[in-house]
Structure 1
Amino acid sequence: MTRIISSLAEVSASYDALLCDLWGCLHNGVAPFPAAVAALQAYRAGGGKVVLLTNAPRPAKYVTGTLDRMGVPKDAYDLVVSSGDAAQDAMFAGAVGRRVWHLGPEKDNGFFTEVPPEWQGQAGIELVPFEEAEGIVCTGPFDEMNEVPEDYRPRFLLAKTRGLPMLCANPDVVVDLGDRRIYCAGALAALYEDMGGEALYFGKPHPPIYDLARRRLAEIGVGEEARLLAIGDGINTDVAGGEGEGMDVLFVTGGLAAGQFGSDVEHPEADLLEAWLAARQHDPQFSIGRLR
């Protein structure tokens, strides 16, 4: 049975590092949540390390830039590890071929142009039209504010017929941008799989992003025996991923599933929460209305 807590400080002293989701936990896509920022700052002031673990389909450099523009202070975290980082590594290794079609908005172009140090001087990736591609790299819809996955069904039918594998750079299905819900690459990849296509995933809940986070933590002195707490609002990404990695989990109920646990977002109703979690066969150690 999950334990509902009122603040991160109630449990955080038991952990050496936090793996904290961004969208829905630290910010809403438009502005940071002040209470969440303060909670992470306080945890770091006590000696803990904070990894912002995000399914953003861009390298960490670009995610950090977005956080800066949004006003998230640098002292709220130590590292950013993104799905883009983990998926980039797979792409440059040739997971879906060398000639790829990019399905995604222009803002994600850094996924291709920001070559990681370990791949400098190695065989490159060429962006080509769909008709010439060996594989697809999906970072989201071209127009995320207006398009839905079904818009891509005709193109996906052609891709499946040609046997094109899809690298999904962001397993999230939806996120909330302010008050608006938009589709992510994970929704497109799910449709492609439903149609019989092959999709490869590297963000939460899949192991590559957690392996990368552990490597980055080791670089700043957090070893293999460290006690880690995964924090997030995605039941199929943050919670499932943390549980799959054997970590304790803090589920933020006031994010994607906020409407499921009563009228007070800050205080989820225990009976509703337990029933909802049981139906999805997840049992995070802790739950909280909003990260604070």
Structure 2
Amino acid sequence: MSETVVTDPASIELWHGIEEHLSRFDLIICDLWGVMHDGVTLHKNAGAAIECARRNGVQTIFLSNAPRPREYVRNHLINMGLPKQLTDFVVTSGGLARDEVRNHFSGAKLYHMGPESDSNTIEGLPVSLVNSPDDADVILATDLAFSDLEKHREFLSVARQNDIPFLCANPDRVVHVGDRLYYCAGAVADIYTDMGGDVRWYGKPMKSAFDACLDEVDMPDINKGRVLMIGDSMKTDITGAVGAGLSSLLIAGGIHRHELSNVLNQVDNDAIPSAVFTESFDFDDTIIPTAVAEELKI
């Protein structure tokens, strides 16, 4: 019988590497942006850690809120330098949104909110494309229409009046590209929700995204405590893991790097008091990770 992960709810473990903890897990679900790469450069230590997990018999799968098809993301990882054999299992929010359009909006008039560079997300779908959300039966958002978030209220007002569903293919609110921070489609979805609109989310933190990962690796009945979600976002990665009943590792070098710099200064015997952690975030204090690490590495 494999051991079950037991954690102390009063504290959060501080990990200095992943290898010594691998015996506690059968599956790793790993975020991409902020963990494996920064949008520009592959984090080589993170790639080595995933290879180490595979060598130790732990299955791995990437789960990304990238609003792109699975194959695009897989090829992007390979082009960045990640070994091809580590990219065999990939689930993306864009891929899940595409599945939704095929299954429930075939023949509809679809407005794509996002740049031309995201066109592969709508390529081949059984829909008619329209040039305005005013004319749509459904909106599929992969990015913003304007850099000014508040402009989306007026832009989407007719769609809201017509009760048009808004499919959010990138539920992230912000993302780091190198050292810069950018808004994502999730920030627009929040505005449409505030307007009273019908928003349908794909990807983390929705439980359906984690279930899709378990199905992808043919492990639907796995002990959830022996599944480790690795990510850098409290709002998507850690909230999703807690909601799905999974263990979780928060990477401190991602979008919460500033909040966590204070937390990491208050470590005692490789443990972070949960109270210290929650005080550093304007966040639900029931959402805490199993462990924190400065980066993903062996």
AA partner of residue 85 (structure 1): G
In structure 2, distance between residues paired with 1:268 and 1:25? 23
Unaligned 5+ segments in structure 1 are 116-123
Aligned to 1:118: none
Following superposition, the deviation at residue 142 of structure 1 comes to: 4.2
Per-residue deviation at 1:159?
Answer: 1.8
CA distance in 1, matches of 2:29, 2:208: 14
Partner of 2:228: 229
Count of residues paired in the alignment: 277
Q: Distance in 2 between matches of 1:94 and 1:24?
A: 32
AA matched with 1:141: L
Code of the residue aligned with 2:209 in structure 1: it is I
- In the other structure, the counterpart of 2:30 is 20
Cα distance in 2, alignment partners of residues 88 and 223 from structure 1: 22
Determine the structure 1 residue equivalent to 2:210: 210
User: Are 1:40 and 1:77, in contact at CA under 8 Å, matched by a contact in 2?
Assistant: no
Match of 1:276 in 2: 280
Equivalence for 1:139: 142
Summarize deviations over 1:241-270 as a string: whole Å, max 9, x none: 1111111111112211001122798x7853
Residues 62-73 of structure 1: matches in 2 within 5 Å?
62-73=72-83
TM-score normalized by structure 1? 0.87
The secondary structure found in structure 1 opposite 2:214 is helix
CA–CA distance in structure 2, aligned partners of residues 264 and 2 of structure 1: 11
1:2 matched to 2:4: no
TM normalised by structure 2 equals: 0.86
Aligned residue for 1:109, secondary structure, equals helix
- CA–CA distance in 2 between the matches of 1:81 and 1:112? 17
Q: Please state if 1:201 is matched with 2:201.
A: yes
Could you say if the C-alpha distance between residues 263 and 211 of structure 1 is closer, same or farther in structure 2, counting changes exceeding 3 Å? closer
1:76 Cα deviation from its structure 2 partner: 3.7
Q: Say which is worse superposed, 185-194 or 156-165, in terms of deviation.
A: 156-165
- Displacement of 1:13 after TM fit? 1.8
The question of whether the paired residues in 2 share the 8 Å contact of 1:140 and 1:184 is answered with: yes
In the TM superposition, 1:19-168 aligns within 5 A as 19-94=29-104, 98-114=108-124, 124-130=126-132, 131-142=134-145, 147-168=147-168
Residue 197 of structure 1 and its aligned partner are, at CA, apart by 1.5
* Aligned residue type for 1:188: V
Identity of aligned residues (%): 33
Alignment of 1:169-188 (within 5 A): 169-188=169-188
Question: What amino acid is aligned across from residue 58 of structure 2 in structure 1?
Answer: G
Alpha-carbon contact 2:248-2:290 (below 8 Å) kept: yes
Q: Secondary structure at the match of 1:261?
A: helix
- CA 1:31 to 1:188, structure 2 compared with 1: closer, same or farther past 3 Å? same
Partners of 1:229 and 1:250 within 8 A in 2: yes
